[in-house]
Amino acid sequence: MLKGRLLRGLLIAALTVAVVAISGWMGLSGCAPTPSYTPPPCPAPIAPIRYQNMAMTYNITYTYTPKGDEAAGETQSMIESRLNDDGRADGNSFHTANGEATNFYIYITISDSGYNGNDKWTAYGSLYGWGWNGQITSLSSGPYAYTNFQDMVNKFTDDAYTWIHNGWHRNGCPSQ
């Protein structure tokens, strides 16, 4: 009986030493469980913007040589006019920044894949500003080309205004 208790005690001691040794080896070999990743806290979401007179800066580039209404000054006027149309119901208005801080930056690149008067325009770009650190969103005129330049500009501008109208939050953070 004493012999059985002694053997059982030695077996338990040997198993305990083995478990401790294996655990230590796993820790040294990189097999130990890794601590879970905790993402940084989400910044407060930006609420929809209402009743503001916003100063805008536009950066317009073309992948072709523009003509007529497509010239940068005309395109900028089209964008600003559409922003004012879109913003009217929210009490928002837009103007080109002139000696003042810019509220939003719109970057737009316009392409024309047509030839010989068969124009097919598309636009892509981005929206920055409102004190947000980095790009707010990517913008586009949609997946299909437009044969009417003004329609393409309107779709691109409507995409930009959606973010001003609805507000935004950092990717990966829940909407609040």
- Chain centroid to CA 4: 70
On average, the pLDDT of the chain sits at 85
Query: Span 53-166: which CATH code?
Result: 3.40.50.10070
CB count in 10 Å sphere of residue 144: 9
Q: How confident is the model at residue 32 (pLDDT cuts 50, 70, 90)?
A: low
* Model confidence band, residue 80 (pLDDT cutoffs 50, 70, 90): very high
- Average pLDDT, integer, range 11-15: 61
Nearest CA to 105 out of 135, 84, 66 is that of: 135
One-character DSSP codes across 59-126? EEEESS---GGGSHHHHHHHHHHHHHHHHGGGT-EEEE-SSS--SEEEEEEEEE---TT---EEEEEE
d(CA 38, CA 141): 37
Per DSSP, the residues of 117-164 read T---EEEEEEEEETT-SSEEEEEES-SS-BSSHHHHHHHHHHHHHHHH
Domain ranges in the chain?
53-166
Residue 81 to residues 2, 12, 94, 152, Cα–Cα distance (Å): 97, 83, 8, 14
Residue 25 pLDDT level (bands cut at 50, 70, 90): low
Weakest-pLDDT range from 119-123, 148-152, 160-164, 172-176:
172-176
Give the torsion sign (CA, 142, 147, 153, 157). negative
| 8 Å CB contact between 141 and 124 | yes
